[in-house]
């Protein structure tokens, strides 16, 4: 499900879970809503904590994804252990952008894990019970991230309220997990 809608009714229906937030986050602003409907671009800034690489760009504008920017995001969010690049689901970027819009922030997103090759995922799963053997990371459908200066619980609550996919909360490791699978949380 995309946060972008052609009419107000669908837009509101897509955000129906936002009332769950209550006072923990500001409501989706009129300005943000107007920007999405008017075709203004969606931009993100990433910092990969493992490679120390930075990338930023407008990944969606005028009703379409920018393939060059998406390819650049894919490269920077690659499996750094195997140096394998895979196409990430653009809805992940929509999901992160929606969280940032909801919270009114324009900060660099720190990536812990983007794409993971089956070999890397198997190695991580052998060392931790917290790594799914059939992880969405291997399908390019998941990102683990944090935003410095933004409370992880607030990120989690905002992501859950948007109801755009799976949300995992790992406060002891300092990140949240997003995926574009079915709506669920842990």
User: Does residue 26 have a pLDDT over 50?
Assistant: no
**CA distance linking residue 89 with residue 152, whole number of Å:** 23
Residue spans per domain, the chain = 26-185
pLDDT per position as a tens digit, 45-89: 999 999 999 999 999 999 999 999 999 999 999 999 999 999 999
User: Does residue 114 have a pLDDT over 70?
Assistant: yes
Torsion of CA 34, 40, 42, 45, to 10 degrees: -110
Q: Are 62 and 39 in contact (CB under 8 A)?
A: yes
- What would the mean pLDDT of 170-185 be, rounded to a whole number? 97
User: Does residue 27 have a pLDDT over 60?
Assistant: no
The pLDDT score that the predictor gives to residue 130 is 74
CB atoms within 10 A of CB 162: 27
**CA distance linking residue 16 with residue 11, whole number of Å:** 9
Provide the CATH topology of domain 26-185: Muramoyl-pentapeptide Carboxypeptidase; domain 2 (3.30.1380)
56: left (phi over 0), alpha (psi -120 to 50) or beta: beta
Read off the pTM: 0.77
User: Does residue 36 have a pLDDT over 60?
Assistant: no
Q: Where are the beta strands (DSSP E) in 12-165?
A: 42-48, 54-61, 64-65, 109-113, 142-146
**CA distance linking residue 3 with residue 11, whole number of Å:** 7
């Amino acid at each position: 499900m995309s946060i972008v809608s052609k009419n107000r009714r669908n837009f509101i229906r897509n955000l129906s879970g936002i009332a769950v937030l209550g006072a923990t986050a500001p409501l989706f602003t009129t300005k943000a809503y107007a920007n999405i409907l008017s075709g203004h671009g969606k931009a993100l800034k990433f910092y990969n904590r493992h490679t120390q690489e930075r990338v930023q760009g407008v990944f969606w504008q005028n009703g379409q994804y920018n393939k060059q920017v998406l390819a650049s995001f894919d490269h920077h969010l690659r499996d750094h252990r195997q140096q394998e690049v895979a196409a990430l689901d653009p809805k992940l970027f929509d999901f992160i952008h929606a969280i940032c819009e909801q919270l009114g922030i324009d900060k660099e997103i720190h990536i812990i894990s983007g794409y993971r090759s089956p070999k890397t995922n198997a190695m991580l799963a052998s060392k931790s019970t917290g790594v799914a053997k059939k992880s969405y990371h291997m399908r390019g459908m998941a990102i683990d991230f944090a935003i410095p200066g933004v409370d992880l619980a607030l990120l989690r609550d905002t992501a859950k309220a948007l109801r755009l996919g799976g949300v995992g909360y790992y406060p002891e490791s300092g990140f949240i997990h997003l995926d574009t699978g079915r709506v669920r949380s842990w």
